[in-house]
Structures are given as C-alpha cells and as structure tokens.
A and B are shown apart, each in its own frame.
Chain A
Amino acid sequence: MRTVVLLGPQRLRPTLVEAVDRAGVTGAVAAVTAGWQEREDEIDELSAHLRRPVVNLGLHRRGEDVLARDPEFLLAYGDLLDRRRKLQDLYRIRLHHAKAAVRDLLATPHERDLVEPEVEHALGALRALDHDHRQRVRRMDEAFDLEWRLASRPAVAEHREEVARILAGCDALAIAGGHVQVLLDRLRLFGVAEASGEKPVFAWSAGAMVVCDTVVLFHDSPPQGAGNAEVLDAGLGLARGVVALPHARRRLKLDDAPRVRLIAQRFAPARAFALDEGARVWCEGRRVEVHTARVLLFDGHVMDVGPA
C-alpha cells in the first residue's frame, strides 16, 4: 500500500528530508514542481535539502511543449479552462447561499434541539452541492479527455513515456506546492499518479492539496469577498479521507469556532488538517497517522497533535 506523507510548507522550515529518511527512501526522488510554473527548474535548494539524487520531472515545461506542438489541442484546452472558470463561478453563486444558511443557523439563539437538525440539513445541502460540483468538473474533464484522446496524442504520449521511465528509476515522488490548478492538470496530463505505482509520495502546500480526494480552496479573510472555502475539483485520491489546509496560520481563523466547525463538518467524513510549518501527516490507504498537525474538530475546536 502506498505511503503518502503530507507536510507543512517547506520554504521556511524544510522537513522533507526527515520524512523521506523516516520512510526508508534511499534512492533518487522524482520532484514535481510544476506548481511553481516558470520557476519549475529552481530546485537547487530542494536538491541540497534532500541530500540524495533529485530528478525534476519538468511537468510544467512538458505541458508547455505539448501545447506548443499541438495547436488544435491548445485551443481546446483554452476552452476547457474557460468553461471550468464559468462552472466555478456558477457553483460560487449557489455556495454563497448554502454557506450563508449554515452560518445564519449557527448564529441563531433558539433552543439547541430546534436548531441542530436544521444545521444538519443545511450542512447536508452544502455537502451535496460540493459533491455535485466535483462530479460536474470531473465529467467535464473526462468528456474532454475522451473527445481529444489525450493519451494517444503524440506529444502527450511521448512525454508520458519519458515521465514513466524517469519515475521507474526513482524511489519516491516529491510534490511541491504553487498553483494548485496547474499542478493538478499537469499531474493528470502526464499520468504521474498511475506511473508512480506504489512509490511513496511526499507532498506539501498545493502538493498536499492535490493528493487528497478533494481539492479545497480556502481563505477566511481575503482582502476581497466573503472568504467561502470552495471545492475546486477532485484530487488524485492518493491520501484518502483527508482534506489538506496548508498555510493555515495565514489563511484560516482557527480561533473562530463556527468557521472551524463548518469546515470540519462540511467535508466529513474526511478529516481536515491545518498544515503549517513542521506539520506531518502519514497516510496509508484509509489509515491516517498524525505526527504533527492541527486537526479541525466537529465542535469548532482545533486539536494540536505532536510537537509544536
């Protein structure tokens, strides 16, 4: 069974090498830094930190190459991105009202036995909305894949083969953060999850988000807008039953019990983890072992696990 380790952000406090050592990985590590986009090649610090061979899969560059060599596909992909954006906007309209209902109910002063069933129903509606959206995005992408026969397009097939060959020579996969949509698209386009077999995966920031079942975008206090956490898409499903919330100290109001409760209950039965510097969550199948992280609880509290 594949081991997937979710880590906190690595820039200020790199902990990747500890996790890799602990997992007993001794060989080369394949790095995915596609989320860094045009900075994808800047992996010197990562290589120095890992103290073992690091091979950059270059997924962002490969993606650009595919688009450059296949103009017809480039146009179609642009349309897909446009349709995805529109779908996300439509989902946000419904989400705004669904979340407002839960928040309003949580704030009502009426008797608990009256309010709680209403909250539960409103949460159910919210979960259903998230689920529907995730399904629609998946269906849209699957239809696109079928129509454009992604796997058999020459440029894609060529890069997939190379990526698979590189992965075969590596003992583990390290997925960094960055632009979450770009990262997810590139990982899917080149079939990295499948090609990496059962090799252990170490992922942080956006990387941690995309290996979960569902990719949740979040910020409780953005400078504009309401700060409604939203589902972007299904993730790769390598870390099961987990929602990764990196950079939580900047993005989440973890002392706001109703907000914490809402996130925890909305994405249940998955467990929501705040992944700040030093965090480490070890996943194997549906087994989740929290070494260091903050867990968002159903009652609105946050539980610190492991050393600070």
Chain B
Amino acid sequence: MTLLIDRFVRGNGPGDGSVDALVASTAVPIVEGDRVTFLYRGEADAVKLWHAIFGLPTFQPFSRVKWTDLWYLTLDLPAGSRMEYKLLVERDGARDLIRDPLNRQTAHDPFGANSVCYAAGYQVPDWTLADPEARPGTVEDHEIDAKAFGGTRNVKVYLPARMRLTRRYPLLVLHDGNDYLRFSRLQTVLDNLIHRLEIPPMIVVGTQSPDRMKEYMADAAHASFVVQDLLPALEAAFPVAKDPAQRGIGGASLGAVASLSTAWRYPGTFSRLLLQSGSFAFTDIGRTYRGPVFEPVVEFVNAFRARPGHPAEKLFVSCGVYESLIYENRSMAPFLQSTGMEVRYVEARDGHNWEAWRDRLREGLSWLFPGPLWMIYE
C-alpha cells in the first residue's frame, strides 16, 4: 500500500497538493492498515514523537517535507492498538512537549492529558459511554477512621441505582478510586454494566492514598487499614455482603500490588482480585533494575512467590503489551495459576494508562462478579 504521506511527498497528494489540502483531507494521525502517520505543521528545528511504548525509542524523530512546514513520522501500529503520545517541538533552543494540535482525541491522567492514536480496529467500547437508558448510581464521599495510619481517610462510595437496605450487595474495594472515577469513567462503566445485567448491582469503594508510593508498596499498615478499619466501617454503613465470595479488591499499577498484598496478608477476606498492570517487580537473583524505590515491592513479590498460599479464589489479571510491566505480569500469570486459584490473564495492545484499565473493566468485573444476564429480562 502506498501511504498518503508518500504520495504527498512525491507531489501526488490530495486536492491541489498543498499542505492545507492534505490536512483537510484526512483525520490525523493517518491510519492506513497497520501503519500510522503522525503530522505536525509549524516552524521548528526538530519534531519528535514521545510515547511510552516499551521496546521502542521513547522519542522518534519526524521528517520535514521539503519547502513546507509539514513534519511527519510513520510507525507500525498493529490493529487494535491504542497509543498515547505527545509531540516534542524544538525551536531556537526551546523544547515544548505538547499534545498533537491536529488530533482532538485525548486521554487524561493525574499528570494532565496526552493525545491518543487509535489503530485500525480499535473502538472506544460503547459500555464506557453514557447510556441514557442506564439508571445512574450515586457516588458519595465518606470519611473513615484510619487507626492503621492515625487520623482519617476519605473514600468514594459508589452505590447502585435503586439500592435497597434490605439487600446485601457485593463489594469491591478499588485503590485509586478517584482516578478510576475521573480517568476511567468508573461510574459510567458501573452504571452501564449493571444496567446490562453483566454485573450485579454492587457497591464499589474507592480509596485514595496521600502517599501511594509508600502505602501501596505492599505496606502492612495499608493492608490493616483496608481490612481492620475500612471493611468494618463499610459493613456498618452500607448493605454490603459479608461473604468473602462477594467481596473483591483491586487496583492498577501499585494499586494492584496493594490489592494482592492485602489479600495475601489477610487470606480469605477477599475472594475476588482485580489486578491491572500490577507493578509486580521481583528478582530471581540480585537487586531489581527498577531502583531502590521498588525494593519493598520486590521483597513482597519474592515472599509471595516463595509462599503464595491461597489468598483469594478468582483473580483477573490484565496488562498492556506496550508497557514494561508486561514482563512481570507474564511471569506472574502462570505462577498464580499454579497456586490453584482461578486466574484469567488478559493482554491488550495498550500501555500503562487509565483508559487501558477502563477498557478491561467489563471483562474483569463480569468475570469476577457475574451478573444475572441470563435470567433477568426486565
């Protein structure tokens, strides 16, 4: 296939052959089969693509089309991929990392926003979009007395639509709950999956740590907070099921480490684990290449690998193939399966980001908490 940019460079572009005509003729980035072409217009000394795809150079230089202010870069991007990126524009010694001005698709995270490229075949899942037919649940703020840390902690509590106090609802504790709500559309996802009967009406509690780089690193105090402070408070305030089979804990990145660590320290408390892109750093010899900050995690994961026990019944483990943690997660998946726990391991052509985690929620939640889809026709 001759790419549009190649035709343009050869003087055989769309319309009158001008840069204006090219840019007006197509969505940017230009997706053609497994090839994606990024464009930038403007005066610059150099333009580079910044991305976090593991295995590729982090900065990839654009080429300039002679006699124009158009810059371009073509990459391979397999079907189904989703890629977050920015552009580094260098001019007169200044370096600006910006979102792609020609692409309106963005994804947000706690650090701001990135541009997003959807490869052929990727579609934003419809269950992540607001559905006017779905009855909306509510999200409440609650303060929890945190004896494990001293002081109090705030949590977000998602309550399903039409909740009844006479019923008992499955419970999921989700680390970084604010971020799941803001960047992974958690409330919309829960509303939709409940409406579609793919998960049961359930209560989801989002924790948010003021120091996740300490508390989510397999910290004993955090596990104590979740099990000995948070759970009793939730059981006192909300109609949550007390049966561990209806109780789950989960999170992404270090949130997944905190989840596994909590379940491991208190086996049988949580039967369901949602582990997304877990930062499961471990070593077989020597120290971790990830640096000293990861040593508490390594210590935990190594101890877990030595004595896994049976902390839960069902685990949903997911990871993006474009993130460095794919090595750790691919290593952990068969190990987890070997312990006798029921494990579903899923990979996606995506990175370490909140929309990747959002996109796996349907499969993960509906597997951990199957809804009454087959029996209810309302």
The CA of A40 and the CA of B198, in the complex, are separated in Å by: 22
Q: Report how far A9 CA is from B196 CA in the complex, Å.
A: 14
Q: Is the CB of B378 within 8 A of A223?
A: no
A205 CA to B363 CA in the complex, in Å? 26
Q: Size of chain A's interface in residues, with CB distance under 8 A?
A: 24
Known A38-B164, A38-B167, A223-B198; judge A177-B378 contact (CB<8 A): yes
B377→A246 contact, CB < 8 A: yes
Q: Does A178 contact B (CB under 8 A)?
A: yes
Residues 351-371 of chain B: 1 if any A CB is under 8 Å from the residue's CB, otherwise 0? 000000000001100110010
Residues A223 and B377 in contact in the complex (CB < 8 Å), given A39-B162, A179-B372, A250-B196 = no
Interface check A206, CB cutoff 8 A? yes
Query: Do A178 and B373 touch across chains, with their CB atoms under 8 A apart?
Result: no
Q: Which of A181, A224, A250 has the most CB of B within 10 A?
A: A224
- Complex Cα spacing A39 to B133, Å: 19
> Which one, B133, B164, B373, contacts A222 given CB within 8 A?
B373
User: B199 to chain A: closest CB distance in Å?
Assistant: 9
- Which of the residues A11, A38, A222, A224 comes within 8 Å of B378, measured between beta carbons? A11
B contact residues, total (Cβ < 8 Å) = 19
CB interface residues, B 153-182, toward A, < 8 Å: 162, 164, 166-167
A254 at the interface (CB under 8 A from B): no
Q: Which residues of B contact A180 (CB under 8 A)?
A: 375-377
Instruction: Establish whether residues A181 and B375, one from each chain, have CB atoms under 8 Å apart when the complex forms.
Output: yes
Residue in chain A with minimal CB distance to B132:
A12
Given A39-B162, A250-B196, CB of A178 within 8 Å of CB of B367? no
B377 neighbours in A (Cβ, 8 Å)? 177-178, 180, 205-206, 209, 246-247
- Contact partners of A247 in chain B: CB under 8 A: 377
B367 CB → nearest A CB, Å:
6
- Say if the beta carbon of B374 comes within 8 Å of chain A: yes
Quick one: closest A residue to B198, CB to CB? A223
Interface residues of B in 120-154 (CB under 8 A from A): 133
Q: Are A178 and B378 in contact (CB under 8 A)?
A: yes
- Most chain B beta carbons < 10 A, residue from A38, A39, A222, A223: A223
- Bound complex: CA A164 to CA B373 (Å): 32
Point out the residues of chain A lying under 8 angstroms from B133, CB to CB. 12
Verify if A219 is at the interface (C-beta below 8 Å from B).
yes
User: What's the least CB distance linking B60 to chain A, in Å?
Assistant: 36
Query: Once the chains bind, are B367 and A206 in contact (CB under 8 Å)?
Result: no
A13 to chain B, nearest CB (A): 11
- Within the complex, the shortest CB–CB distance from B239 to chain A, in Å, comes to 12
Residues of A237-253 contacting chain B, CB below 8 A = 246-247, 250
Across the interface, do B198 and A222 meet the contact criterion of CB distance under 8 Å?
yes
CB-based A-B contact count at 8 angstroms: 51
Q: How far is the CB of A77 from chain B (nearest CB, A)?
A: 17
Question: Are B366 and A223 neighbours in the complex by a CB distance under 8 Å?
Answer: yes
Q: How far is the CA of A27 from the CA of B244 in the complex (A)?
A: 50
Interface string of A118-136 (1 = CB under 8 A from B): 0000000000000000000
Query: Which of B162, B164, B167, B376 is the one whose CB lies under 8 Å from A179?
Result: B376
CA distance A254 to B96 in the complex (A): 50
Q: How far apart are A233's CB and chain B's nearest CB, in angstroms?
A: 12
Tell whether, in the assembled complex, residue B167 and residue A224 are in contact, meaning their CB atoms are under 8 Å apart.
no
Residue A25 interfacial (CB < 8 Å): no
- Which among A11, A206, A222, A247 has the greatest number of chain B C-beta atoms within 10 A? A222
In this assembly, does A98 line the interface, its C-beta being within 8 Å of a C-beta of chain B? no
Nearest residue, chain A, Cβ from B199: A223
A223 and B362 contacting across the interface, CB-CB below 8 Å:
yes
Nearest CB of A to B137, in Å? 16
Distance of A223 Cα from B375 Cα, bound (Å): 15
Within 8 A of B (CB), among A192-222: 205-206, 209, 217, 219, 222
Quote the shortest CB–CB distance from A287 to chain B (angstroms): 25
A12 to B132, CA, bound (A): 10
Decide if B367 touches A219 in the complex (CB within 8 Å): no
Contact A206 B362 (CB under 8 A): no
Query: What are 26 sample pairs from A and B whose C-beta atoms fall under 8 A apart?
Result: A9-B378, A11-B378, A12-B133, A35-B376, A35-B378, A36-B378, A38-B164, A38-B166, A39-B164, A177-B377, A177-B378, A179-B372, A179-B375, A205-B377, A206-B376, A206-B377, A206-B378, A209-B377, A222-B373, A223-B198, A223-B362, A223-B363, A223-B366, A223-B373, A230-B374, A246-B377
Which 10 residue pairs across A and B have the least CB separation, nearest first? A223-B366, A206-B377, A205-B377, A177-B378, A217-B374, A223-B198, A177-B377, A246-B377, A179-B376, A223-B362
- 19 additional A-B residue pairs with CB within 8 Å, beyond A181-B375, A230-B374: A35-B376, A35-B378, A36-B378, A177-B376, A177-B378, A178-B377, A179-B375, A180-B375, A180-B377, A206-B377, A217-B374, A222-B198, A222-B373, A222-B374, A223-B362, A223-B367, A224-B363, A246-B377, A247-B377
